Amino acid sequence: MAFGSFDSKEGSHTVSEINMVPLIDVMLVLLVIFIITAPLLTHSIKIDIPQASAAQAKPETKTIDLAVDAQGLLFWNEQPVSMDQLAQRFSQEAQADPQPQVRIRADLNTRYEVLARIMGDARLAGLKQLGFVTRPPATPAVK
């Protein structure tokens, strides 16, 4: 409803403004209804569900132990090999699926040149899993 003003002497004309009070009242009523009903919608029943592991079984990867002594001699799984044979074996093992993990155990006095050549040959063959086996330091006795 629109009402005219009281001080108008020219005649009655209608006010073309929207009365916001009823709209605000309706919105407040809806807000109260939603506040009351929202907790009722989250009602749930507690059930103990059995737990199961759904972890996918990974195939065990083959591990190759490559030992290098102080003189630079190579041992593939405790069997002596030459540097040329090593490159051939790397290329054969790179074709396997999944690729094996190569663990390099080097003597403390092994030349860096030998280790760099081994790692380079493994990467050229396509092996992706290279690692070094180290010995943890001796821990002193705790007093």
pLDDT at res. 5: 56
Spell out a b/e string for 96-116, using b for 16 or more CB atoms within 10 Å of the CB, else e. eeebeebebbbeeebeeebee
Amino acid at 1: M
What's the pLDDT score for residue 17? 82
pLDDT at 29: 95
| Amino acid 80: pLDDT | 93
d(C-alpha 109, C-alpha 59), whole Å: 36
Q: Which residues partner with 63 through β-bridges?
A: 101
Output the CA torsion sign for 132, 97, 61, 52.
positive
Return the pLDDT at 46. 74
- Would you state the pLDDT for residue 117? 92
Instruction: Tell me the pTM.
Output: 0.54
pLDDT at 85: 92
What is the mean pLDDT for each group of 10 consecutive residues in the chain (143 residues)? Answer: 56 76 93 88 69 70 89 91 92 89 89 91 91 78 59
Could you please state the CATH topology (level 3) that the domain comprising 63-132 is classified under. Answer: Nucleotidyltransferase; domain 5 (3.30.420)
Q: How deeply is 92 buried, as exposed, middle or buried, from its count of CB atoms within 10 A (0-12, 13-18, 19+)?
A: exposed
State both tokens at 56: 């996918």
Q: Which residues pair with 32 in a beta bridge?
A: none
> Considering only CA atoms, which of 121, 123, 102 is closest in space to residue 113?
121
Inter-residue contact 61 to 99 (CB < 8 Å)? yes
Report pLDDT for 7: 60
* Residue-level pLDDT at 142: 61
Gap between the Cα atoms of 55 and 43, Å rounded: 32
In the chain, domain spans:
63-132
φ/ψ of residue 19, rounded to 5? -80, 115
The predicted structure's pLDDT at residue 51? 73
Amino acid making up residue 99: Q
Q: What is the pLDDT of residue 6?
A: 59
